[in-house]
A and B are shown apart, each in its own frame.
Chain A
Amino acid sequence: MDFSLSEEQQLLKDSITQFVDKDYQFDIRQRNVSSDLGYSSEFWKTFADLGWLGMPFSEEDGGYNGGPTDLMVIMESLGRGLVVEPYIPNVVLAGGLISRLGSSEQKSNLLPKIISGENQMSVAFSEPQSRFNLSDVITSAKKDGDNYILDGYKSVVMNGPSSNFIIIVARTSGKQLEEKGLTLFLLDPSLEGVSLRNYSNVDGSKASEVTLESVTVSSSTMLGKEGEAYNSLEEVIDLATLAISAEAIGIMEKMNEITLEYTKTREQFGETLSSFQALQHRMVDTFMAYEQTKSLLLMCAAKLTDKTEDASKSVSALKYQVGIAAKHVGEEAVQLHGGMGVTDETNIGHYFKRLTTIRAIFGNTDYHLKRYSDL
Chain B
Amino acid sequence: MNLSFSEEDLKFQDEVRSFIADNYPADIKNKMDNGIPVSKEDIQTWQKILSKKGWFAINWPEEYGGTGWTVTQKHIFQNELANANTPTLVPFGVSMCGPVIYSFGNQEQKDKFLPGIINNDVWWCQGYSEPGSGSDLASLKTKAVKDGDHYIVNGTKTWTTMAQHADWIFCLVRTETTDIKQQGISFLLIDMKTPGVEVKPIITIDGSHEVNMVYLDNVKVPVENLIGEEGAGWNIAKFLLAHERTGIGGIPTLKREIRRLREITSELPLGDGFLKDDDLFMDKLNKLEIDLLAAEYSELRTLAAMSKGGHPGPESSILKIKGTDLQQGLSDLFVEAIGYYAHPFMSEDDLASNEGRIGPDFAANIMPHYLNMRKVSIYGGSNEIQRNVIAKAVLGI
Contacts and interface: CB of A to CB of B under 8 A. Distances in A.
Contacts of B132: 267
Contact of A343 (B205, B272, B340, B345): B205
A370 B280 CA distance: 9
B343 A279 contact: no
Interface string A320-348: 00000001000100110011011111000
Nearest to A331: B374
B198 interface: no
Contact of B136 (A268, A334, A343, A352): A268
A353 B371 contact: yes
Chain A interface category by residue count: 35 or more
B302 interface: no
Contacts of B356: 197
A34 to B, nearest CB: 12
A374 B135 CA distance: 47
Contact of A129 (B269, B335, B375): B269
A207 B345 CA distance: 10
Nearest to A271: B136
Interface in A201-219: 201-203, 207, 209
Interface string B361-397: 0000001101100110111001110010000000000
B199 to A, nearest CB: 16
Given A156-B340, A335-B377, A342 B204 contact: yes
Contacts of B341: 128, 155-156
B26 to A, nearest CB: 30
A352 B205 contact: yes
B343 A203 contact: yes
Contacts of A267: 132
Contacts of B343: 156, 201-203, 207, 357, 360
B189 interface: no
Contacts of B382: 335, 338
Contacts of B205: 342-344, 349-350, 352-353
A356 B345 CA distance: 13
A269 B344 contact: no
Contacts of B328: 331
B207 A366 contact: no
Contacts of A207: 343-344
A279 B388 CA distance: 12
Interface in A122-156: 126, 128-133, 136, 155-156
Contacts of A156: 340-341, 343-344, 359
B244 to A, nearest CB: 16
Given A156-B343, A357-B342, 17 more contacts: A129-B269, A129-B271, A131-B270, A202-B343, A207-B343, A207-B344, A268-B135, A269-B135, A278-B384, A339-B158, A339-B211, A344-B203, A349-B204, A352-B374, A353-B205, A366-B280, A366-B336
5 contacts: A155-B341, A268-B139, A349-B205, A353-B371, A360-B340
